[in-house]
Amino acid sequence: MQFYLNGYRPGDPLLHEAHPSVAGSSNDLPAEVDVLIVGCGPAGLILAAQLARFPEISTAIIDRREGPLQVGQADGVACRTVEMFEAFGLARRLVDEAYWVNEVCFWQPDPDDQRRITRTGRVRDTDAEVSEFPHVIVNQARMLAYLLEQLERSARRLSPHYGLHATGLSIGSRADDDHPVAVTVQPIRGGNAAGDPQTIRARYVVGCDGARSATRGAIGRELIGDARNVSWGVMDVLCATDFPDIRRKCTIQSADSGSIVLIPREGGYLARFYVELDVGRGSGSLVGREVTLEQIVATANRILRPYTVEVRDVGWWSVYEIGQRLCSKFDDVPVEEMATRLPRVFLAGDACHTHSAKAGQGMNVSMADAFNLGWKLAAVLRGVARAELLHTYSEERQRVAQELIDFDEEWSRMLSTPPRRPGDPDGIGMDPEEFRSYFLSHGRYTAGVATTYGRSMITATGDSQHLAVGFTVGMRFHSAPVIRLADAKPVQLGHVAQADGAWRLYVFSDRGGPAEPGGRFRALCEFLASDRSPVTRFTPVDADPDSVIDVRAILQHDHRDIELTSLPTVLLPRKGRFGLVDCEKVFCPDADAGDIFDVRRVDRGDGCMVLVRPDQYISHVLPLDAHDELAGFLGQVLLALRPAVR
Ligand code: FAD
C-alpha cells in the first residue's frame, strides 16, 4: 500500500482526501449522476465501492430500506470473494473476524440403525493451492458494513440514500441526451410513502435490487426457470448441543426427516442451521404450512437424532424460499440490436439470477457481477475505453450464472436425495461416496476460482498459453509469493492489483532479464516507455503513468543480485507533484515460499507478458517480443488518447 506521494499528512493515511466537488455539497439526492445504483445489497455496494475509487465519477446509491441491513441473509464468503476484498483493502479485517471453513464433515444414517445419524466422512474444505485466502463465513450485514465504511472514507465520501424506493424507469431516445435514463423514486418513512416522488437522471443505471427487481421489469427482462420455490428454514442460533461437529461445517442427511447444512459462524459460538422443510416423506413434512421457529428447531432435532440441539438464543431466523431462475440477458439491449445500440441499464446479483443457498454462492456471485461491471463503467465514463466494452458484461456474467444454476440444481438434488440404505435391492437413494466425491471435485468451483471467460474483445485465445501454463487466459490471476526487489519484502504478487481500474501487465523476464543489454526484456521495456507503447498512448496526459496500464516485472534473479537503479525507466516511473520514483514495481522469486516461475509454470527460457484486466482476470499471454500484438489487442478496448508515433 502506497501513500504520501504528494506530501506527508499526519493522521490515518488510508482516509482519502475529499475530492473538491464534495466540499460543500449537500447529502440530498442529486438530480443528475453518472451512475445510479438501485439497491444496497452486496452487488450494489461492491459496485459503489469500485466507482468511489474515481472521484471524477458521480454516483448515487439508493435503497428502499430505511437503513443498513443488520441481521441475516447470506454468510458464505468464497476464497475468490476474499481475493476481491483484498483489492479493496478489506481482506485482512474480513479474515480476522470470520469463521474459517477448514473442514467439512458428512453425516448420514448409521448403516446399523437408520434412525440414527453417524459421521461418514471428514474432508479438508479447500485445498491450500486454490487461493492464498481461506473460505470464510461472516454475516452479510458485516460484509456490507465494511463496504459502507470504505465508501465513507473514499475521496467521493459516498453514502447511500436510504428510504428511497425506485418505482419507475424510462430510457430516452434522443441522441444528444447524455443522461438518458430517468428513474422515479418514492421516499419511504416508517414503511409508508412519505412526500412526493422525485426523478433522478443518469447516464447509466444498475439494478442491484434483488430477486424482486423493479429495474428488471422496467427493461422488459424476466427471471426464467424453475417456478418451484424450495423452502429452507434458516436460523442463526446460540445453542446447547451434544452434536460433536457443531464447530465444523457439516452436511447432515437423515433417513426420513430431511437434511441440514450446518455452518458454524464467526465469534466461536453462533451457528447457522439450514433445515430442509420440503420433505415429502415421513411425518415431519412442513410443506405448505405456516412455519414457525419451533417447528424448524423440532425438525432439526429429528434430523440430528441421536443428538439434540437446545436453542438458547436466536440471532435471526427465516424461511428462505427460492427457485433457480435466470434472465436471458443482464442489460437493456436485445441481442439483435447489439451491433447498433449500447447498454444504458444493467442488472446484477439476485436481480438477474436466483438459486438456492445450499452452495453458498448468492452473495459471492452477486459481488462478482458487480466487480465485473464496475471497472467497465468506470473506464467508459473516464473516457479511456470504448463503450462497446459494456456489452461484455452481460456476455460474461450471464454464462457464469447459467453455470451456477446448473451446479445448484445438481447439488440441491443430491442434498435432498435420501442416502441409499444398506442392502437396498432397488439401489434407490444417493451413494454416500458419490456425494462426497461430487463435493470434493467441485471445490475449485465453490471457491469461486473456476470461472473462465470466453474469447472476446478483452479475452484472447491463449495461443501462447504454453509460456505461462499456470496463468490461464480467461481465468483469474492466481497470486503467488514473490520478494519485492526494492525493500526485500515478501509479498503476494496478485495483491498489487488493487480495485483502481488499471490493467496490469506482468512482464516475466526471460533468463537474461535486465542484465542482458539488447535482450528481449530490455527491448520490451524500451518499447513500453516509447511513444508507440500502449502505456503511453492510452494514458491521459498528466495522469498517473500507471492509472490505465500498470507495468510490473518479475525477474528470475535473486533480489540481492540486481541494483534497483539499473532497471529500465518504465519500471521506475516518476509520479506525483514531486516527480518521485515508484520503486515498488519489480519482484523476484521467493525461494523459501516457492519460485513463482516454477509454481505458475512460466517459461524460464522465453519469459512472457501476462496481461490482466482491472478485475484480475487474465486477458492475454504474449511472448516478450509481441509488441505490436499487445498494442493491437489493447487498441480494441482502450481509446488512444495520444496519437501513434512511428
Ligand atoms: P439483495 O441483497 O437482495 O439486495 C437488494 C437490495 O435492493 C435490498 O437492500 C433491497 O432493499 C433493495 N431494493 C429492492 N428493490 C428496490 C427498489 N425498487 N428500490 C430501491 N431499493 C430496492 N442467501 C444465502 O446464501 N443464505 C440465506 O440464508 C439467505 N437468506 C436470504 C434471506 C432474504 C430475506 C433474502 C432477501 C436473501 C437471502 N439470501 C440468502 C440471498 C442473498 O442474500 C443474496 O443472494 C444476496 O444478498 C444477493 O445480493 P444482491 O445485492 O443481488 O441483492
Question: What's the 500 CA to ligand 1 centre distance in angstroms?
Answer: 26
Say what the pLDDT of residue 617 is: 98
Report the range of poorest mean pLDDT among 20-24, 137-141, 150-154, 484-488. Answer: 20-24
Question: What's the 355 CA to ligand 1 centre distance in angstroms?
Answer: 12
Total Cβ atoms within 10 A of residue 193? 12
Which atom of ligand 1 approaches the CA of 215 most closely?
18
Give the residue from 100, 118, 93 showing the smallest Cα distance to 108. 118
Q: How large is the average pLDDT for residues 611-637?
A: 97
Q: What is the rounded distance in angstroms from the CA atom of residue 154 to the CA atom of residue 16?
A: 5
How far CA 576 is from CA of 435, 546, 609, in Å, comes to 57, 11, 27
C-alpha cell read off for 190:
416508517
C-alpha cell read off for 271:
451457528
Q: What is the rounded distance in angstroms from the CA atom of residue 557 to the CA atom of residue 576?
A: 30
361 vs 206, higher pLDDT: 206
Contact 514 CB / ligand 1 (< 6 Å): no
DSSP output for 559-598: GGGS-GGGS-GGGS-EETTTTEE---SEEEEBTTTB-HHH
Contact 208 CB / ligand 1 (< 6 Å): yes
Say what the pLDDT of residue 289 is: 58
Say what the pLDDT of residue 282 is: 42
C-alpha atoms less than 13 angstroms from C-alpha of 609 in its C-beta half-sphere: 28
What percentage of the chain reaches a pLDDT higher than 90?
77
Which atom of ligand 1 approaches the CA of 165 most closely?
19
Q: What is the rounded distance in angstroms from the CA atom of residue 86 to the CA atom of residue 91?
A: 4
Q: What's the 3-state SS for 112-177? A: CEEEEEEEEEEEECCCCCCCCCCCEECCHHHHHHHHHHHHHHCCCCCCCEECEEEEEEEECCCCCC
Residue 279 has pLDDT above 60, yes or no: no
Question: What's the 231 CA to ligand 1 centre distance in angstroms?
Answer: 16
User: What is the β-pairing status of strands 574-575 and 608-612?
Assistant: unpaired
Contact 260 CB / ligand 1 (< 6 Å): no
Q: How large is the average pLDDT for residues 46-54?
A: 97
Contact 137 CB / ligand 1 (< 6 Å): no
Total Cβ atoms within 10 A of residue 189? 10
Say what the pLDDT of residue 281 is: 45
User: What is the β-pairing status of strands 574-575 and 345-347?
Assistant: unpaired
Return mean pLDDT, the chain. Answer: 92
- Contact by Cβ (8 Å): 384, 541: no
What is the separation, in whole angstroms, between the first and last Cα of the chain? 37
C-alpha cell read off for 105:
464433515
Place of cell 418505482: 167
Q: How large is the average pLDDT for residues 338-358?
A: 93
Contact 40 CB / ligand 1 (< 6 Å): yes
Contact 209 CB / ligand 1 (< 6 Å): yes
Question: What's the 604 CA to ligand 1 centre distance in angstroms?
Answer: 48
Summarize the chain as % helix, strand, coil (round to 5).
25, 25, 45
Q: How many residues does the chain have?
A: 646
Residue 646 has pLDDT above 70, yes or no: no
The number of helices, as runs of H, and strands, as runs of E, in the chain is 14, 30
Which residues have CB under 8 Å from 203's CB, separation 6+?
33, 34, 35, 178, 179, 180, 181, 344, 381
Place of cell 451413494: 431
Report the range of poorest mean pLDDT among 130-144, 351-365, 616-630. Answer: 351-365
User: What is the β-pairing status of strands 481-484 and 259-264?
Assistant: unpaired
Handedness of CA 391, 396, 401, 403 (dihedral sign): positive
- Contact by Cβ (8 Å): 479, 551: no
Q: Which residue's alpha carbon is nearest to atom 13 within ligand 1?
A: 209
C-alpha cell read off for 543:
495522469
Q: Which residue's alpha carbon is nearest to atom 21 within ligand 1?
A: 63
Question: What's the 66 CA to ligand 1 centre distance in angstroms?
Answer: 14
561 vs 226, higher pLDDT: 561
Say what the pLDDT of residue 311 is: 98
Say what the pLDDT of residue 23 is: 63
Q: What is the rounded distance in angstroms from the CA atom of residue 216 to the CA atom of residue 211?
A: 9
Residue 63 has pLDDT above 80, yes or no: yes
Q: What are phi and psi of 41, to 5 degrees?
A: -80, -165
In this structure, what is the dihedral angle of CA atoms 582, 586, 591, 596, given to the nearest 10 degrees?
A: 130
Of 320, 327, 347, 400, best ligand 1 pocket probe by most atoms within 8 Å of the beta carbon: 320
320 vs 38, higher pLDDT: 38
Place of cell 534473479: 557
Residue 642 has pLDDT above 70, yes or no: no
Digit-coded pLDDT (tens) for 382-439: 999 999 999 999 999 999 999 999 888 888 778 777 777 766 656 667 777 777 778 7
Q: Please name the amino acid found at residue 42.
A: P
Question: What's the 595 CA to ligand 1 centre distance in angstroms?
Answer: 43
Binned at pLDDT 50, 70 and 90, residue 462 comes out as confident
Question: Is 293 in a helix, a strand, or coil?
Answer: helix
Handedness of CA 587, 588, 592, 594 (dihedral sign): positive
C-alpha cell read off for 142:
458485516
Of 36, 46, 63, 147, best ligand 1 pocket probe by most atoms within 8 Å of the beta carbon: 63
Binned at pLDDT 50, 70 and 90, residue 284 comes out as very low
Q: What is the rounded distance in angstroms from the CA atom of residue 278 to the CA atom of residue 259?
A: 10
What percentage of the chain reaches a pLDDT higher than 70?
95
Contact 318 CB / ligand 1 (< 6 Å): yes
- Contact by Cβ (8 Å): 194, 64: no
C-alpha atoms less than 13 angstroms from C-alpha of 563 in its C-beta half-sphere: 2
Question: What's the 213 CA to ligand 1 centre distance in angstroms?
Answer: 10
Of 169, 363, 404, best ligand 1 pocket probe by most atoms within 8 Å of the beta carbon: 363
Which residues have CB under 8 Å from 335's CB, separation 6+?
329
Contact 63 CB / ligand 1 (< 6 Å): yes
Digit-coded pLDDT (tens) for 547-599: 999 999 999 999 999 999 999 999 999 999 999 999 999 999 999 999 999 99
C-alpha cell read off for 207:
439494478
C-alpha atoms less than 13 angstroms from C-alpha of 92 in its C-beta half-sphere: 2
Which residues have CB under 8 Å from 453's CB, separation 6+?
396, 459, 474, 475, 617
Question: What's the 76 CA to ligand 1 centre distance in angstroms?
Answer: 14
